[in-house]
Amino acid sequence: MLEVGPAWEAELIRLSEKEGKSLRATARALGVDVKTVIRHLARLADCRQEENFIEVGQSLIERRTRWLALIAPHPQKGRKELRALGPADYCWLYRNDQKWLFENLPPVKSRKGAAGCRVDWPGRDRELGARVGPVAHAILYAPGRPVRVTISAIGKKLGALGILQRNIDKLPVARASLEGVIETRDSFEIRRVRAAARELLRCGESLEPWRIVRKAHLRPEYPASVAAEIERIIYAFEKGVIHGDEI
């Protein structure tokens, strides 16, 4: 039986950690009680923790020293450039000593052009306001399947969707122009009904409510105003009041 000492502790570590034996089995193999095993394992754990602490402390000093030596000759370089020069020390300090690292980094560079750049909102407002009408007209009379005239559709055509969405309060002229041309859902569906009726007649098909509804891709419960427009178109066409290209 081994006496308590370095060899005994080595055997304790082998049995409990490497072989994964239980406390009782380890105590039986070493000829001691379970409490003795627990006491020595706790002491060994404390020693390891202290050794790790000392090792980390030494590494901390070394890495801080290296980092300061690295940044000293490069006062004009930014954070990314310094990180590229010493990636290992940067990452270690970021994980283990972040507060100190940030105190020893250059300030974050502001984006070029962000400061002091003022937008001429009145001028931008007048420009966009003047372009809204023609763009809306182009959407209304574009060939093919109808597209609803919305702020989104107009903004995309203008290349200014983000400005209209985020800064509409600064664009009173443009906002008034938009409010005068954007379509409600009902008015858009009426326009789709008319386009569907023209297409049916062009293809030689009869005007019947179900055909128009299907061709216009209307939602199942379309509003009464749309139903009334379908009836008006069919009645006017049957009476000869309007022709296909007049719908």
pLDDT digits (tens, 9 = 90+) for 15-59: 776 677 777 788 788 788 877 877 776 665 655 544 454 455 457
Residues 160-187: what's their mean pLDDT? 93
Q: H/E element holding 228?
A: helix 224-238
The chain-wide mean pLDDT, for the chain, equals 83
Whether 218 is in a domain gets the answer yes
Q: Number of structural domains, the chain? A: 2
Whether 207 is in a domain gets the answer yes
pLDDT for residue 132 is more than 70: yes
pLDDT attached to residue 4:
61
Shared domain check, 130 and 166? yes
pLDDT for residue 79 is more than 70: yes
pLDDT attached to residue 3:
58
Q: What is the distance between the alpha carbons of residues 105 and 26, in angstroms, rounded to a whole number?
A: 52
Whether 132 and 153 have beta carbons less than 8 Å apart is answered as: no
pLDDT attached to residue 119:
83
pLDDT attached to residue 118:
82
Least confident segment among 26-35, 74-83, 146-155: 26-35
- Residue 188, both tokens: 């858009």
Instruction: Choose one of 158, 181, 204: the last residue of a domain.
Output: 181
| Containing structural domain, residue 222 | 187-246
